[in-house]
Structure 1
Amino acid sequence: MKYAIVDIETTGGNAKTGKITEVAFFIHDGQKVIDEYSTLINPEQPIPPFVASLTGISNKMVAKAPRFFEVAKEIVTRTEDCILVAHNSEFDYSFLKEEFAQLGYSYQKDTLCTVEMAKRLLPGEESYSLGKLCKSLGIPMNARHRAKGDAEATVQLFEMMLQKEYFQAVKEDIYTYDTFNHKVHGHIGKEVIDALPEVTGVYYLYNQENELIYIGKSKNIRKRILQHLSNKQTKRAEKMARFIHHIDYVHTGSELVALLLESDEIKKHLPVYNRAQRKSKVFFGIFVKKDNNGYLNFDIAPLTQDPDQETPITTAFSKKEATRILERMCERHQLCLKLSGLDNSPNSCFGYQIKTCKGACIQQESADQYNKRALKASRYFSYGASNLMLIDQGRDLNEKAVVQIENGVYKGFGFIPKEQGTKDINILKAAIKQYPNNKDVNTIIRGFLRKKALEKTIRY
């Protein structure tokens, strides 16, 4: 078994926007280093000043260096049949995969992370950053934050861990698969593993009898399914991995659409491993109902798994947060504190005393007048507006995903060609496929609106 111990330097921390500026490989046969390769790379984009200061790699240094496509074949050849090893392997591997993907090539390697290995095999260290760990272990470091210097130090760290008694057991436990392995994936088939896409969407796992046993969502379907197939964290996870014989998936592009579709599909099919594993955290909802006098009342209560529980107008991660939302509703729309569960006075509420309540608590304001404002408030605080079109990335560069909320209620989602634009609301409405509204989708959508994780939000 051979290991390609790698380190890279980049223009930034995001593989989608950053580029590699330097790469170094040491090929190790499990006994010693048998080959090495290092080079500066012209990233074809400016190196930010703070990165240049950290690494010592300047724009001038890389100006005449080869571009990635010029060294790509060299990297493929030298790392052939190797396991990729790096200190924080996910970072280095993600950049290499992205650079190759931009060339139209799928670079796939199984990986080992020396950070995770060190935590298991060298417990008790104050820090597991490469610099501090090597200093603690007496490993010399030359040219810190340069690819060759950091890779050389990683080689020495790796060789130190190779000598540990439990190296093989730990390696098997943290090994990350990204290629077909007959021992792990033999019941699936190489052609299935090779065809798994690295896209955002919903995936479906079936047993040998073609029964649906699990539905999941991921921003990288391939990576997530391979994690399932090699999961040894619990006996139940191992058992499910053995049961998986067929795989299907739906590419959504949008993570929001993937979450909405996953939620709907789980409710529809109730796969056995979803029922056993997906236990929601206790969140709170704000619920609305009419009292005996016809006034709309608001109430804060924990969300439950009971399918018969009413759908809340909005959700919150804590009772305290739900209370703050309700207080803002009352202040903005002149709602009654007593009818909102925020005042226990036997007669009129405190808001009536200071003239922020119009007297619904003592029936001085009619139920019809009060309910108009209460209904408007409930729609606004559900998603921030009554009518919304949420625009997100589609399944390719020529498409956009659209999620519709109308009268404060989730309607569904769909896709439109990018060239159509998003100005005509009727075109957006026509693209929507209807899906049921419930408290779970309310939580999902509000979470995305909180994070502002969408391309565009259109009020209409």
Structure 2
Amino acid sequence: MKDVKFAITDIETTGGGIKGNKITEICVLVVQNGEVIDEYSSLVNPGTEIPLYIETLTNITDNMVADAPKFAEIAPEIDKITKDCVFVAHNVNFDYNIIKAEFNNLELSFQRKRLCTVRLAKRLIPGLFSYSLGNICTSINIPHVDRHRARGDCEATVTLFQRCLDLDPEYEVFKAFLNQRTAASYLPPNFKNSDFEKLPASTGVYFFKDKDGIPLYIGKAKNIKSRIKSHFQEKSNRKYKLMQATYSIDYELTGSELLALLRESALILKHFPEFNKAQKKVSRPYTLTSYHNQKGIEQFVIHKNKVSPVSWMKFYTREEAIKFLENICTEFDLCPRYCGLQTGVSHCSHYKIVNCSGMCKGEINKEEYNRRVSEAVEYIQQYENSCLLVEKGRTKAEKSFIYLKKGRYAGYGFVENSDDFNGPGQFEDYLVPQTNSSYADRIVNRYLNTKKNITRLNLNTGEEVEERETEEWFG
């Protein structure tokens, strides 16, 4: 470790996270064997105005940087002084990613091994109230002049780095951080690598939490560990702010992808996490109904705002409704014209459904046609019956179920694979009741219309029914 060079770096910027942020000042102090052996510092013309709140914080004004070099002019110096060095900074991902972005804008590569003094200090100087640079300097008596200026902050970081070297004489902690091959280099500064390694590669929901344990963001994933790692690697300003505020990550296994979607929706509505985009307002649903026209023919119609005597099914997009009706029309040999799939034509000429029952041409009598419609309605009504949707469990030894009460989401549960329900009510000991919402309605409706291999347990007979195969649906 004595031969290793560390390029301890600090930058000041125009603010606003990582993406689009521009450098206004930079300082690099190269440390080898505990001593500063090289240095570079300069103001930088960002090519844009410095916001007033940043000017107040750093005392760097537009006038000060007007005649300063642009980053393109100093890039060769930054590349040269940091070459063959470990890139070190306090909250290293911030400084590193902004400098890397500046190089990328010049179509130049910037790749350095990284080391974070926040993570070093948390390991070697545990128990401090705060690990911001200013608070650490106050806590352990490090001189810190010219705060929020690149040179002043960089010199304070060098002193902190030297203290950490003194506390790790065998370089065990330094080597451990430098030799990591996990997501540790992307971890939020307040999050432990050991906690990341404990995350499961399983399906469920996860929670980014602040220092008080309050959810900041809730998501779903087929593979929780992999999805969280991808969050760490994202470079958006919003994600950067989330990572800075995250102190812990919790999770809830569901086994079932459907249940993960339903739990995510319910938990977002419960906690309204700061970094979740508000759930899109679900518009008034499309309703599938039927009526007897003046000729006595029963025909289907989709509407959005009208009140109707009967309502067979609801859809949250017109595309879902049309697709479902096309399947019904084909399955029960109906007429596209009388299924609301064609208007303004005397005889069917549907682009997709080539076989028409002939009702539009009078080739079958209305009694036979209405009988087919009745069979279709009976099929549709099964979606509104109370049932259990049987899904994967959290382990191979169990299965999950989603309870639909009269077609609406009402709860979930987990049972052993050997458990069977032979009658109504036997599942209730395992049921976790849930409140339905329009979001849950939409999730379940999409699942019923597009999921492969639905296993539905009829609560009246206790029989499992394997249903049709369609396209994949879970994203």
TM-score (norm 2): 0.45
- Structure 1 or 2, whichever has the larger Rg, is 2
